[in-house]
Amino acid sequence: MADKAGDEDIAIVTRQLGRFPRGMVAIGARCVCGRPLAVVTRPVLPDGTPFPTTCYLTSPEAVKAVSRVEADGSMQHYTDLVVHDETLRSQYQYAHRLYLAFRHELAARLGDSEEHIAGTSAGGMPVRVKCLHALIAQTLVMGHGVNPIGDLVMERITDEFNPKVCRCTTELG
């Protein structure tokens, strides 16, 4: 929560998503130009809906690049890696535990209940790969080396999306 979302951030994320960013409490990662790439969302939305996706991808460029990977059928390949590669599986399980710990700390600070989402992280962790957008968001928010699948996908899309190279199309304030 070190990078709290200001009014300009909220306006940019609203344009990125095409809707108001419900439950957003901080910017989790920024492009080199300063625009948000991923946000941190509270565990319970303002209407009381439990929301396990704490790290939420907002960059349209990242969403587009990751969507291409999902559309080409790679989800099964990444799930197979998790199932059959013991080292990668262990790292993926660790990413899951870090996600839960991160959300728990956020919930404690905000007074949110995790009762309805206890043990649920995002992206299919810890046993399968379900949503690459969530895994990339975790990689952007928590850094390279935390989520092995997020890291692999980031490497794969680097020609289309790289947080160190501005390719942003969302207009600033």
Q: CA-to-CA distance for 134 and 98, rounded, in angstroms?
A: 14
2 pLDDT band (50/70/90 cuts)?
Answer: confident
pLDDT per residue over 148-173, tens digit each?
999 999 999 999 999 999 999 877 65
Please indicate, yes or no, whether the overall pTM of this predicted structure exceeds 0.85.
yes
Q: Tell me what pLDDT residue 119 has.
A: 93
Residue 30, H or E segment? strand 24-30
Find the radius of gyration of the CA atoms of the chain.
15
How many CB atoms sit inside 10 A of residue 47's CB?
Answer: 8
Q: Which two tokens stand for residue 45?
A: 């939305």
d(CA 161, CA 63): 9
Interatomic CA distance for residues 112 and 13, integer angstroms: 23
> How high is the pLDDT of residue 137?
98
3-class secondary structure, 98: helix
What would the pLDDT profile of 98-110 be if each residue is shown by its tens digit? Answer: 999 999 999 999 9
Identify the pLDDT of residue 1: 62
Question: What pLDDT score does 104 carry?
Answer: 96
Q: pLDDT for 9-63, tens place per residue?
A: 999 999 999 999 999 999 999 999 999 999 999 999 999 999 999 999 999 999 9
Residues 24, 40 contacting (CB under 8 angstroms) = yes
Q: Which residue type does 5 have?
A: A
